[in-house]
Amino acid sequence: MIKNVFFDLDGTLTDSKEGIIKSAQYAFEKLGLPVPPFEEMYWVMGPPIRTSFRERLHLSEEDAFRGLRYYQERFGSVGYLENRVYEGVEQMLGELKDHGYRLFITTSKPTFYTNEILKHFGLDRYFTYVSGSDMDGTHGSKAEVVRYVIENFDCEKDETVIVGDRDHDILGGIQNGIHTIGVRYGYASENELEDAGAQYIAESPEDIITKIRSF
């Protein structure tokens, strides 16, 4: 029986692509790089920004860090508010909490921004703890933020599930030996969640509850 539910944020609870992609485009411009069209930048959704810049753009560690700081210039002032909560998410969180599940956030986004977003939308009251990255982009792999919660909140692995919209959410759960649910309505490409090994796929926030009860 599931007792602990780990939620990703972007693409799972909120639709944050506008703020994230526009902030990434701003960083491209500040770095003197050609700025791709909005619709070609979905790759930036999910993994740590610093890691994405380094690996996707083949930047040096120094330039990837500069890119992260430029990204944060815009995201911290306006980007984090270019966001909306998916329909049905708050009702889903309320029902899970009312039924005694412990809810956590496990995200590659910096903990500071995550807390600001949750407070802005009034979602912070549902969560026991927020596990995110540091502001410099370190300690933000999905496996790391998941492992931190497991080890510090006495989460039995067979009683714990991660819910996320990208393959790294599913892989981070598998690497830590917990159950996994992918969400179809987020930013994953076709078959991404299935290929990553998600045990269940939820079609909507309401369906997440059904899938949690299936374990």
CA dihedral 211, 149, 12, 177 (to 10 degrees): -50
Quick: pLDDT tens for 190-213.
Answer: 999 999 999 999 999 999 999 999
- What integer pLDDT is reported at residue 12 of this predicted model? 98
pTM for this model (two decimals): 0.92
Across-strand partners of 131? 106
- What integer pLDDT is reported at residue 139 of this predicted model? 84
From CA 115, how far away is CA 153, in angstroms rounded? Answer: 19
Location of structure tokens 């078959």: 191
Q: Could you tell me if 3 and 101 are in contact, meaning their C-beta atoms sit under 8 angstroms apart? A: yes
Q: Is 15 a catalytic residue?
A: no
Q: Could you tell me if 187 and 166 are in contact, meaning their C-beta atoms sit under 8 angstroms apart? A: yes
CATH of 4-15+84-212, one of 3.30.1540.10, 3.40.50.1000, 3.40.1160.10, 3.40.50.880: 3.40.50.1000
Considering the domain 17-81, what is its CATH architecture? Orthogonal Bundle (1.10)
| One-letter identity of residue 15 | D
Residues of the chain with pLDDT under 70: none
- What integer pLDDT is reported at residue 136 of this predicted model? 85
Q: Which of 8, 10, 15, 207 is catalytic?
A: 8
Quick: pLDDT tens for 135-160.
Answer: 887 888 999 999 999 999 999 999 99
The DSSP result for 76-93, as a single string, is: TTTGGGS-EEPTTHHHHH
Per domain, the residue ranges of the chain are 4-15+84-212, 17-81
